[in-house]
Amino acid sequence: MSERMTAEGFVEWQNEDFDVGRWSELVEGSPVAFEPPDQMHGTVVLNFSKVVADFVQREPDAGCAAFDLGLVVSRDPDTVHFPAFSWFPGEGRFDRTDDVLCETPPAFVADVVSSPKRLASVGDRVRGLHDWGVETVWVLEVERGVVKTSSRTSPPETLRAGTPVERSPGGCSLRLDLEGLFAEPSWWTG
Give a yes or no: residue 125 inside a domain: yes
pLDDT (average), residues 156-168: 85
Give a yes or no: residue 2 inside a domain: no
Q: Please say if the pLDDT value at position 16 is more than 90.
A: no
Q: Which domain holds residue 184?
A: 7-189
Q: How many domains does the chain divide into?
A: 1
**CA 142, 115, 107: angle at the middle one, nearest 5?**
65
Give a yes or no: residue 35 inside a domain: yes
Phi, psi of 156, rounded to the nearest 5 degrees = -65, 155
What CATH number did the domain enclosing 25 receive?
3.90.1570.10
Range list of H helices, 17-115:
18-21, 39-58
Average pLDDT, the chain: 90
Selected residue with higher pLDDT from 5 and 36: 5
65 strand-pairing partners: 87
pLDDT (average), residues 48-54: 92
- pLDDT for residue 1: 40
Give the global pTM.
Answer: 0.91
Residues ≥6 apart with Cβ < 8 Å to 124: none
